[in-house]
């Protein structure tokens, strides 16, 4: 992974080569061979800088994506462990949440009551919208 210091050093070297080229062009009869050599060096340095910037840009995008993901999960990753009660996981005055989703990946997935409109799940009264597990939770405990 290139760091900004490496990229900056390459750009600084490139500016030095440009200064040499400018000085050569100020002479009455510029040395064409030296000029070509310096232009080639400049081209190679700029290609290196371009490659480093592209790599740095890709790394930056990956870090931004990771940062956004971690920011979304801060409540899950920093909270106290849930209490298991009444057929599900509960956080302080909040729940019910899926036991499987929390236990396997610490994802706080709120259970959804599904039989309030007359629809009855086989073996339970609520489900996890993520993993579709059916739970029987004390209905009085639903907020």
Positions in the binding site for Zn ion (CB under 5 A):
98, 100-101, 109, 128, 130-131
Which of residues 4 and 105 has its CB atom nearest to Zn ion in the complex? 105
What would the 3-class secondary structure string for 9-77 be? HHHHHHHHHHHHHHHHHHCCCCCHHHHHHHHHHHHHHHHHHHHHHHHHHHHHHHHHHHHHHHHHCHHHH
Q: How far is the CB of 125 from Zn ion (least distance, A)?
A: 15
Which of residues 52 and 135 has its CB atom nearest to Zn ion in the complex? 135
CB 90 within 8 A of CB 76: no
The count of residues in the chain is 143
- 18's CB contacts (< 8 A; 6+ apart) are 42
Which of residues 41 and 131 has its CB atom nearest to Zn ion in the complex? 131
For 111, other C-beta atoms within 10 Å of its C-beta total 25
Q: Which of 94, 114, 123 is nearest to 136 (CA)?
A: 123
Q: Residue 22's Cα: distance from chain center in Å?
A: 44
Q: How far is the CB of 72 from Zn ion (least distance, A)?
A: 17
Which of residues 67 and 106 has its CB atom nearest to Zn ion in the complex? 106
Which of residues 64 and 84 has its CB atom nearest to Zn ion in the complex? 84
């Amino acid at each position: 992974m290139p760091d900004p210091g490496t990229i900056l050093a390459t750009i600084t070297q490139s500016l030095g080569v440009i200064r040499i080229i400018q000085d050569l062009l100020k002479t009455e009869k510029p040395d064409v061979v030296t000029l070509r050599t310096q232009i080639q060096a400049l081209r190679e340095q700029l290609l290196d800088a371009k490659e480093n910037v592209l790599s740095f840009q890709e790394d930056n995008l990956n870090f931004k994506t990771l940062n956004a993901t971690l920011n979304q999960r801060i409540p899950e990753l920093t909270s106290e462990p849930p209490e298991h009660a009444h057929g599900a996981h509960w956080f302080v005055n909040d729940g019910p949440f899926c036991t499987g989703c929390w236990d396997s990946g610490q994802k706080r997935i709120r259970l959804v009551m599904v039989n309030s409109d007359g629809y009855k799940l086989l073996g339970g009264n609520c489900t996890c919208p993520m993993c579709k597990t059916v739970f029987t939770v004390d209905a009085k405990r639903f907020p």
